[in-house]
Amino acid sequence: MSRFSRQSFLGERSDALLGRSKVAIVGLCGGGSHIAQQLAHIGVGNFVLFDPDHAEDSNINRMVGLTWAGAVSEASKVQVMHERILGVNPDANVEPFSTRWQDNLGPLKECTVIFGCIDSFQARVELEGFARRHMVPYIDVGMDVSGDPNRFVITGQVILSLPGYWCMRCMGYPSEKRLKEDAEAYGKAGGRPQVVWPNGILASMAVDKFMRLLTPWNDGPESLPDLYTEFDGIRQVLKPHAAIQALCAAQKVCGHFQEAGSLGDIHI
């Protein structure tokens, strides 16, 4: 029986499509590790991995594929996920870059889809801009823990930024307030709280959007994935952002980032 016999509903040519597809994952810890693992299982054939960090003990709470031995030896995060992907599919082609994505732009331009799983809001805006300028669909994954010790709140979102459709900032994300906070926090030790299960929920939704883009399994009237899906970790709800849905339905076109090669963000 074929390795993929249980996913034949994805379409006759889907295995070939997935095998030919080349996916970039930028950031391989909380969200990115789940995405890399799922895409390896489903049969994506080519991976471009970016993360400049090394794994450590504090990553074990959220990075799937990271073992205690990997954390102790401080393996690079791309090495951990490279091995994980090949462990699932030895035929996969993996290009691992233990650098910032800005230092190796070439492989990103050739990708079917770019997944952004990075902490910094400003870096996500820059990565989205790059993807849009090169007409590559971009899927952004983010989770957040706010509140206080009496009542913590987990939220998150998965945003699909497609050429011709609205970009993230047209959708109001990230807000100017978030960008300002991000700039002020730059360089401070520590990071935003992250845990494995909301990362897994959000990463699975990101893979869902990718599969809807790539394969014809749901080519009905709702075949275009929702552009903005939000997660309410208190109410255990994952749903399309109603206001964004309405806005996008009314005016689908976004004119930002249209000049190929342009380095400037011309948001107005």
Give the residues lining the site for Zn ion (CB under 5 A).
167, 170, 254, 256
Residue 267, token pair as written in the block: 């948001």
Nearer to Zn ion among residue 32 and residue 225 (C-beta): 225
Closest contact distance (angstroms) between CB of 111 and Zn ion is: 21
Q: Choose between 64 and 167: whose C-beta lies nearer to Zn ion.
A: 167
3-state secondary structure 34-102: HHHHHHHHHCCCEEEEECCCECCHHHCCCCCCCCHHHHHCCCEHHHHHHHHHHHHCCCCEEEEECCCHH
Q: Is 252 helix (H, G, I), strand (E, B) or coil?
A: coil
Report residue 167: phi and psi, to 5°.
Answer: -85, 175
Minimum CB separation of residue 262 from Zn ion in Å reads 14
Q: Which is nearer to Zn ion, 100 or 267 (CB)?
A: 267
Instruction: Write down the residue that tokens 């050739």 correspond to.
Output: 110
Spell out the residues 6+ positions from residue 68 whose beta carbon is closer than 8 angstroms to its own: 60
Between 50 and 166, name the residue whose CB sits nearer to Zn ion.
Answer: 166
φ, ψ for residue 70, nearest 5 deg: -65, -40
Nearest to 84 by CA among 33, 128, 131, 120: 33
Nearer to Zn ion, 23 or 244 (CB): 244
Quick one: tokens of 252?
């689908």
Taking the C-alpha atoms of residue 137 and residue 115, their distance in angstroms, rounded to an integer, is 9
Q: Measured from the CB of residue 100, what is the shortest distance to Zn ion in angstroms?
A: 24
The encoded tokens of residue 121 equal 């809001």
* CB 210 to Zn ion: min, Å: 21
CB of 35 to Zn ion, least distance (A): 24
Question: Least distance in Å: CB of 222 to Zn ion?
Answer: 23
Which is nearer to Zn ion, 22 or 178 (by Cβ)? 178
Give min distance, CB of 14 to Zn ion, in A.
31
Q: Which is nearer to Zn ion, 92 or 170 (CB)?
A: 170
Q: In whole angstroms, how close is the CB of 108 to Zn ion at the nearest point?
A: 20
* Closest-CA residue to 235 (of 118, 155, 165): 155
CB closer to Zn ion, 133 vs 256: 256
Angstrom distances, CA of residue 214 to CA of 55, 162, 202, 237 = 31, 13, 19, 26
